[in-house]
């Protein structure tokens, strides 16, 4: 099924450039003032409750309100659109790029995304497993849980409104869980990684190989 994926090539790519380049975009319109410069080392969000903000990257002023924008990841500012300094920018404009060093775990996750079917968060909210799924996970472990399209697998909670979330995708088992109960997940971020049972050996092989070969 995934025989066409050249894992040697993928691993070599990560070996030669073990970074992810993250574009930082403006969340809304406003006057832009940079507060970081090229090659600055920036910190990501930290703290037990993810409550300590990362390094201040820039500020957007709109309607006399100044909105500070902080880095969400650790890394180095690799480029800045200096021409935008002091200018009015549109929402969604890329204003800088952060070079984020990938850890072994992140590399495994990224490679696995080639073979896992990723189920993303439909809205920025907190998520937890549907009660029957949770009790099955508690009893048998997540990789024993088979799911198919339209199964209610999660509950999304936002402002005390609970929404059942149905799975859409190919039938399979829950291989990776990317959220923790009570943690706010941004829209589009991965919640689950699903794979077919016959893909499991390949996944184990990838994990074993990265673990063995990566320093």
Partner 1 sequence: MGLIASEYQQSLHSEPSSRSYLPPEIASAILRYGAIVGCEIEHLRHAQRCMDLAREKILSCEGENRSFPSGHVLIADQLTGSKGRFLRHWHAPEGGIWMVLTIVNTLLPQQAQLYSLAAGVACCEALRHYQVNASIKWVNDVLINGRKVAGILTETMRGPTSGEEFFLIGIGINVNNSSFAPELRNSATSMAEFSGHPFALEEVTARLLSKLSWNIGLLHYAEAENLATGHGLDNDLPHPLITVWRALSDTLGRQVRFGFNVMESPQFTAKAIDIDNRGQLLMRLANGQMLRENSGEIVYL
Segment near partner 1 (CB under 8 A); pick from 9-17, 137-145, 163-171, 191-199: 163-171
Q: Contact between 124 and partner 1 (CB under 8 A)?
A: yes
Q: Which stretch binds partner 1 (CB under 8 A): 9-17, 113-121, 138-146, 157-165?
A: 157-165
Question: Left if phi > 0, otherwise alpha if psi is -120 to 50, otherwise beta: which for 86?
Answer: left
Binding residue (CB under 8 A) for partner 1 from 68, 164, 169, 188: 164
Q: What angle do CA 181, 115, 19 make, to 5 degrees?
A: 80
**CB-wise, 27 or 204, nearer to partner 1?**
27
Q: Give the list of residues 6+ apart from residue 64 with CB closer than 8 angstroms, or none.
A: none
**Contact region for partner 1 (CB under 8 A) — 13-21, 57-65, 136-144, 199-207?**
57-65
Taking CB under 8 A as the criterion, the residue among 149, 169, 182, 188 binding partner 1 is 182
Place of tokens 């005390």: 160
Contact flag: residue 49 with partner 1 (CB under 8 A): yes
Helices (H), the chain: 7-16, 104-112, 131-140, 200-213
Using CB under 8 A as the binding rule, whether residue 139 contacts partner 1 is answered as no
Q: Is 205 in the site for partner 1 (CB under 8 A)?
A: no
120 binds partner 1 (CB under 8 A): no
Q: Which of 85, 138, 162, 213 binds partner 1 (CB under 8 A)?
A: 162
Residues 6+ apart with CB under 8 A from 33: 58, 59, 61, 85, 86
Q: What are the backbone angles phi and psi of residue 17, rounded to the nearest 5°?
A: -145, 80
Record the tokens describing residue 156, joined without a space: 């999304």
With CB under 8 A as the contact rule, which of the stretches 18-26, 41-49, 136-144, 198-206 interacts with partner 1?
41-49
Judged by CB, which is closer to partner 1: 33, or 184? 184
Q: What are phi and psi of 210, to 5 degrees?
A: -65, -45
Q: Is the Cβ of residue 51 or residue 139 nearer to partner 1 in the bound state?
A: 51
The size of the chain, in residues, is 215
Task: Provide the b/e sequence for 180-194 (b: ≥16 CB within 10 Å).
Answer: eeeeebeeeebbbbb
| Binding residues for partner 1 (CB under 8 A) | 27-28, 47-49, 51-52, 62-63, 65, 123-126, 128, 157-164, 166, 181-182, 184
């Amino acid at each position: 099924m995934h025989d066409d994926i050249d894992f040697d090539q993928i691993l070599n790519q990560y070996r030669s450039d073990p970074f992810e380049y993250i574009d930082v975009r403006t969340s809304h319109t406003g006057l832009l003032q940079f507060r970081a410069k090229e090659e600055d080392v920036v910190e990501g969000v930290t703290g037990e409750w993810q409550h300590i903000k990362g390094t201040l990257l820039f500020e957007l002023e709109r309607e006399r309100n100044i909105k500070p924008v902080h880095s969400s990841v650790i890394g180095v500012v690799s480029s800045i659109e200096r021409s935008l300094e002091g200018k009015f920018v549109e929402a969604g404009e890329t204003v800088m790029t952060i070079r984020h060093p990938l850890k072994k775990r992140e590399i495994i996750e990224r490679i696995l995304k080639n073979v896992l079917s990723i189920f993303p968060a439909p809205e920025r909210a907190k998520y937890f497993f549907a009660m029957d799924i949770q009790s099955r996970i508690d009893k048998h472990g997540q990789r024993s849980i088979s799911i198919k399209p339209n199964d209610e697998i999660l509950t999304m909670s936002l402002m005390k409104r609970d929404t059942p979330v149905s799975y859409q995708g190919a039938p399979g088992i829950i291989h990776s869980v990317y959220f923790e109960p009570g943690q706010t997940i941004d829209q589009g971020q991965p919640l689950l990684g699903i794979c077919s049972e016959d893909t499991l050996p390949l996944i184990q092989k990838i994990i074993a190989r990265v673990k063995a070969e990566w320093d």
